[in-house]
Amino acid sequence: MLQPGRDLALITGASSGIGAEIARQLAGRGIDLILTARRRERLEELAGQLTHRSPHAPREENISRSEMATVSVIECDLNTPDGPDRLLAALAERNLAPTVLINNAGFGYFDLFLEQPRDEIEAMISVNLRAATILARELGEQMARRKHGYILNVASYAALAPIPRYAVYSGAKAYLVAWTQALAHELKKSGVRVSVICPGFTRTEFHAVARHEKTRLMRMIELTPEQVARAAIRGLERGQLVIVPGWWYKLNAAALRLLPRSWVAAMSARAVK
Ligand SMILES: NC(=O)c1ccc[n+]([C@@H]2O[C@H](COP(=O)([O-])OP(=O)(O)OC[C@H]3O[C@@H](n4cnc5c(N)ncnc54)[C@H](OP(=O)(O)O)[C@@H]3O)[C@@H](O)[C@H]2O)c1
């Protein structure tokens, strides 16, 4: 179980959606937090809601009252070659050693692969996959040395059911699932727990960012960020390897395993367009 006073959670992509909700739920349990994303104002607003700013705190930090969590804010663009290393350097500079890494930052771009701009494709790989891998490599090593830690990778249902027009996004998220499964085996006796969550359509800013108008079906089966965050924290604490929130998605994930992948791709294409 995560414990106030012992655990410190770094949440990437904490400025909105699922990341912000995981922050709220962890702060509600008194877990200290480090919030990171590009939109600093959003992070500071959230940190302000979760804590009370101390007049003596440096600009980057919102220090709590004793009964509440301490929340630090680090602005960082993970879509730059040195983004993940700059984030790691900022943590070291402030003597912050996370025991929980929530690799949540991510986005998709909805379009035919051959019509997607190259920079969007590269950014999807950088943020969804490269940054998550680098952060887990460096922070995972520190956790293993202390024999205590948790890593949660936020993948997607798109990793389990490849979605045309989200081809690169689906591929990047499928990487997160396979990588987590292998890593969990390697770290079995290390004291570091590793999980991956595969949420289905969730009501966040994701689809606006992806330039994707939701279909009626998508709206019908949409999850809330609260549901996803709750499942993520519960699964992480229980040591669940692959977390699929929501009964509709659980049932479908099981059924999909029995179907040829070409059928699954054709069904997914219909569901999103
Ligand atoms: N919503 C869904 O239907 C759904 C389904 C399955 C999986 N997911 C996954 O859930 C995770 C959270 O997404 P969400 O649904 O909560 O969407 P969201 O509301 O758009 O949140 C995405 C977060 O990622 C951050 N981010 C994006 N690009 C970044 C960059 N270059 N550097 C640093 N941070 C960056 C954003 O912060 P800034 O813009 O402030 O940088 C934001 O905080 C993502 O990994 C997404 O792929 C979402």
For the segment 134-167, what is each residue's pLDDT rounded down to a tens digit? 999 999 999 999 999 999 999 999 999 999 999 9
Residue 3 has pLDDT above 80, yes or no: yes
- Model pLDDT, residue 59: 55
- CB under 8 Å to 76, separation ≥6 — which residues? 36, 37, 38, 83, 86, 87, 90
Would you say the CB of residue 268 lies under 6 angstroms from ligand 1? no
For residue 79 and ligand 1, the question of a CB distance below 6 A is answered with: yes
Distance between CA 32 and CA 15 in Å, rounded?
16
Structurally, the chain folds into a number of domains equal to: 1
pLDDT, position 65: 43
Q: Is the CB of 41 under 6 A from ligand 1?
A: no
Q: What is the Cα–Cα distance from 152 to 38, expressed in whole angstroms?
A: 20
Q: What is the rounded distance in angstroms from the CA atom of residue 92 to the CA atom of residue 97?
A: 7
**202 within ligand 1 shell (Cβ under 6 A):** yes
pLDDT tens by residue, 194-230: 999 999 999 999 999 999 999 999 999 999 999 999 9
Alpha carbon of 17 to ligand 1 centroid (Å)? 7
Spatial distance between the Cα atoms of 137 and 5, rounded to a whole number of angstroms: 24
Does the pLDDT value for residue 57 go beyond 80? no
| N-to-C CA span, the chain | 41
Over range 235-250, report the average pLDDT: 97
What's the pLDDT at 69? 82
72 lies in some domain: yes
Sequence-distant (6+) residues with CB within 8 A of 267 are 161
* Distance from C-alpha of 152 to C-alpha of 194, rounded to nearest angstrom: 6
User: What is the average per-residue pLDDT within 29-53?
Assistant: 93
Asked whether residue 70 is assigned to any structural domain, the reply reads yes
Residue nearest ligand 1's atom 43 by CA: 13
Percent of the chain with pLDDT over 70: 94
- Its domain, for residue 71, covers 8-55+64-272
Residue 229 CA, ligand 1 centroid: distance in Å: 13
Q: CA nearest 108: which of 218, 40, 209, 214?
A: 209
d(CA 85, CA 242): 27
CATH of residue 237: 3.40.50.720
Confidence of residue 61 (pLDDT cuts 50, 70, 90): low
Smallest CA-to-CA distance from 140 within 106, 187, 94 is with 187
Percent helix, strand, coil in the chain, to 5, is 50, 15, 35
* For residue 60, pLDDT beyond 60: no
Asked, for residue 1, whether it belongs to a domain, the answer is no
Nearest C-alpha neighbor of 210 from the set 116, 110, 113: 110
Pairing assessment for the beta strands 8-12 and 100-103 based on DSSP bridges: parallel
Q: Answer yes or no: is the C-beta of 201 below 6 A from any ligand 1 atom.
A: yes
In degrees to the nearest 10, what's the CA dihedral of 146, 184, 106, 17? -80
Instruction: Give domain status of residue 259, yes or no.
Output: yes
Confidence of residue 272 (pLDDT cuts 50, 70, 90): very high
Q: Output the pLDDT for position 67.
A: 54
Question: Do 62 and 47 form a contact (C-beta atoms < 8 A)?
Answer: yes
> Which pTM value belongs to this model?
0.95
